[in-house]
A and B are shown apart, each in its own frame.
Chain A
Amino acid sequence: MKDNVIVKLENVSKKFDDKYVIKNFSLDIYEGEFITLLGSSGCGKTTVLRMISGLENVTSGKVYIDSKDVTNVDATKREVNTIFQNFALFPKMTVKENVAFGLRMKKVEEKEIEKKVSFAIDLVKLKGYENRYPHDLSGGQQQRVAIARGIVMNPKVLLLDESLCSLDLKLRKSMQIELKKLQKKLGITFIYVTHAQDEALSMSDRIAIINKGDIVQLDTPENIYNHPKNVFVADFIGEANIIPAKVIKKIDGGINVKMLENFLIDIKTEEEFEKGEDIKVVVRPEDIAVSKNELVGSIKGVIIDSTYSGNSTNLIIDIPGDFDIKVSTTDESKFRENENVYIKFDSNKIVPLRK
């Protein structure tokens, strides 16, 4: 990743009908990275995207693209292109005409257009479909046309607004891989907006998790998954057990906490916690070991639900004191409902959080 900032949002705010959707939002996006703005619907992520494309004006703050202040530059003139959620292909134009549209608007020479368009169509593997109309294409093909129409403009940044959401699951998975490949190949910065965390985790170099118009955490997928900054992120990304706990004492390089009624465990952390503080600990289901035999430091529980999902079995285990712990195991042994089992936490894989 190059350290050249390609898009800079500086204290950007957006008001709709006297209500702030985005307030003092700042974000640096680097050249050539695949960054995802991840959040639930209505969190303001699409508004951020639209302010970068220029389709939405900012109420206050500044937008820079490639170090140029484009805050007051019209969408028509910004060197970014958007792939819309429903693709927004022009229905009365063929695939070729759709892809050529932007270049024609820029009055590029017809010969040059021909070359660039056929390159872009080739790139998205739509050769032979040039003269089809959008309504003759499948969802995945329409998606490819939309991508070709964007990249043919050779934009500094490509903005993708929930672009995979309208595709079915299998197609979505294969498009995820293709998008990522395409982005690497072209070296264009991709800003991807989605509410689907699996897409974010699998494609992005960095993820910005947005809640109520604010960035809650901005980091690599691995760090976000393994070191969530707060309960919201832990809950939003992947499956997580969020368990209330109390700090009993500080130890070297961490804390000793009490949770699940009377269970004591040491947790490694660099953050400072006070003795007696009420905190939450986050444990991923796959970081909990489950066994039919009692182990040192394990807790006894009853399986109340067991679902097989191919590569793993997802269990919900009831711990005395009315705690339901989610556990995911690749253990081949059959875990049945109502069976007594023992679970064991890995003290390296528990994240203590204050909020």
Chain B
Amino acid sequence: MKNNKIFKTIFTLPILVYTFILIVLPLLYILFLSFCTSDSYGGIIYEFTFSNYIKIFDLTYLKILFKSALIGVITTIICILISYPFALILRRKSAHIQNLVTKLIMIPFLTNSLIRTYGWIILLRKNGIINNGLIMGGLTSSPLNLMYNRFGIVVGMVYTLLPFMLLPICSSVFEINNDLIEAAKDLGAKPLQIFRKIIIPETISGVFNGSLMVFIPAIGYFFITDILGGGKIMIIGNLIKNQFLTARNWPFGSAISIFLIIITFLLVKLYKRLGGKMDDLGGF
């Protein structure tokens, strides 16, 4: 038994060292930075202060936080609205087809998401495929603004993050015991009632899981706002990126990062409180 313990320590030690150097140390450094200030040239002044955290609650930044949250919420809701019908239809198919479709959802993930986001420009721009199609079909006379606005960003976010909603909702919908649905039918429940009373309660943990996996990236994926929003709309991700790369205010950037980590932490807490399992979150 003693030997066993020594072995365990020896084999897990490298992982601990790795985690410590690559994750814990940088995080501690960011936490440390967030309590410093910077001079106008980007140099760091090592003086303890809460000013960065107080600054987050300036109206300017609160607006950005609010707009981020809005994009996050819209993206999450659209993902839920797409995923439910998808999962309910797929539920009736054979396990073979379910597997195939699930794989098809995963395949685009093997391609770099930056490249896939650029792909949307071809579809959404003024003389892009969608606008040309609408004009040719006589549905509009002048091209619509489909990108460089919130619409473009949400399209990009939904496209990129949909699988994170689709997979947990699908797996929870597939797991519903068919007898429950038949029992409800037998007791006189109509399809909408079955959905509300049986399917939603049975799959709500999948929805929480998916929402967490969609909402958090949706307030952070700055490359999507950069490419499809044309830099006009900022989300938290852009804000952090700008502090580090453009404004060169690393302490403030660090403070926002810590703030984002705290939000994530709270959302995960909420998820657990609502009965979600941590294993399901790491299921990808």
For residue A92, CB closer than 8 A to chain B, the reply is yes
Supposing A88-B180, A91-B202 touch, asked if A101 and B187 sit within 8 A by C-beta, the answer is yes
Contact of B180 among A82, A90, A105, A149 (CB under 8 A): A90
Q: Check if A55 sits within 8 Å of B188, measured CB to CB.
A: no
With an 8 A cutoff between CB atoms, is B116 at the interface?
Answer: no
Partner of B182, one of A55, A91, A93, A106: A55
Q: B140 in the interface, Cβ–Cβ < 8 Å?
A: no
A82 touches B188 (CB 8 A): no
Determine which residue in B177, B180, B183, B197 has the highest number of CB atoms from chain A within 10 A of its CB, and name it.
Answer: B183
Contact assessment for A81 and B187 in the assembled complex, using a CB-CB cutoff below 8 Å: yes
B201 at the A/B interface (Cβ < 8 Å)? yes
**Which size bracket describes the interface of B in this complex?**
10 to 19
A105 touching B187, Cβ below 8 Å:
yes
Instruction: Give the residue of B177, B179, B180, B188 whose beta carbon is less than 8 angstroms from that of A76.
Output: B188
In the complex, are the beta carbons of B185 and A76 less than 8 A apart?
A: yes
User: B186 interface residue, CB < 8 Å from A?
Assistant: yes
> Is residue B142 contacting chain A, with contact meaning CB distance below 8 A?
no
Q: Tally A residues with Cβ within 8 Å of B.
A: 23
Contact residues, B182-206 vs A (CB, 8 A): 182-190, 193, 197-198, 201-202
With both beta carbons as reference points, the residue of chain A lying nearest to B178 in the complex is identified as A88
In the assembled complex, the Cα of A90 lies from the Cα of B190 at a distance in Å of: 16
Residues of B within 8 A of A88 (CB): 177, 179-180, 182-183
Q: What B residues does A85 contact at CB under 8 A?
A: 179
CA distance A157 to B197 in the complex (A): 25
* Cβ-neighbour of B187 out of A86, A91, A92, A149 (below 8 A): A149
- Please, which residues of chain B bring their CB within 8 A of the CB of A89? 183
A2 CB–B CB distance under 8 Å? no
Residues of chain B lying within 8 A (CB to CB) of residue A93: 201
- A77 beta carbon closer than 8 Å to chain B: yes
A153/B179 contact (C-beta < 8 A), A90-B198, A105-B193 known: no
Is A61 in contact with chain B by the CB < 8 A criterion?
Answer: no
For window 203-258 of B, CB contacts with A under 8 Å fall at none
The closest CB in chain B to the CB of A107 belongs to: B188
Assembled-state Cα–Cα distance A55/B181 (Å): 10
Residues of A within 8 A of B193 (CB): 105
Within 8 A of B (CB), among A89-118: 89-93, 101-102, 105-106
Cβ-defined contact, B188 with A105, below 8 A: yes
CB distance from B189 to the nearest CB of A (A): 5
Tell me the bound Cα distance from A93 to B202 in angstroms.
10
Chain A nearest Cβ from B275, distance in angstroms? 10
Q: Which residues of A have CB within 8 Å of B198?
A: 90
- Which of chain B's residues have a CB closer than 8 A to the CB of A101? 184, 187, 189, 197
Is there a chain B Cβ closer than 8 Å to A36's Cβ?
no
* Contact residue among A86, A91, A92, A102 (Cβ-Cβ distance under 8 Å from B188): A102
Q: Does A259 contact B (CB under 8 A)?
A: no
Contact present for A153 and B177 (CB under 8 Å)? no
Tell me if A84 is interfacial: C-beta within 8 Å of chain B: yes
Residues B189 and A82 in contact, CB atoms below 8 Å apart: no
Query: Which residue of chain B has the shortest Cβ distance to A159 in the bound complex?
Result: B186
Residue interface mask A5-20, B partner, CB < 8 A = 1: 0000000000000000
A79: nearest chain-B partner, CB-CB: B188
Is the CB of A75 closer than 8 A to any CB of chain B?
yes
**Does the CB pair A76–B202 fall under 8 Å?**
no
Chain A residues near B202: list those with CB within 8 A: 91-92
From A161, which residue of chain B is reached at the shortest CB distance?
A: B179
Smallest distance from the beta carbon of A90 to chain B beta carbons, Å?
6
Bound form: Cα–Cα A76–B183 in Å: 10
Q: Please determine whether B188 and A90 come into contact, CB atoms closer than 8 angstroms.
A: no
Does A204 lie at the interface of the complex (its beta carbon under 8 Å from any beta carbon of B)?
no
Residues of B with C-beta under 8 A to A86: 177, 179
Residues of B within 8 A of A149 (CB): 187
Whether A53 sits at the interface, judged by CB under 8 Å, is: yes
CA separation between A91 and B184, bound complex, in Å?
Answer: 12
Given contacts A88-B182, A106-B188, 12 further A-B contacts (CB under 8 A): A55-B185, A76-B185, A76-B186, A77-B188, A84-B182, A88-B183, A90-B197, A90-B201, A91-B180, A101-B184, A101-B187, A105-B188
Q: Which B residues fall within an 8 A CB radius of A?
A: 177, 179-180, 182-190, 193, 197-198, 201-202
A–B complex contacts, Cβ < 8 Å, 28 sampled = A53-B186, A55-B182, A55-B186, A75-B185, A75-B186, A76-B188, A76-B190, A81-B186, A82-B182, A84-B182, A85-B179, A86-B177, A88-B182, A90-B183, A90-B197, A90-B201, A91-B180, A91-B202, A92-B202, A93-B201, A101-B184, A101-B187, A101-B189, A102-B187, A102-B188, A105-B189, A149-B187, A153-B187
Nearest 7 interchain pairs by C-beta: A102-B187, A88-B179, A88-B183, A92-B201, A105-B188, A105-B189, A82-B186
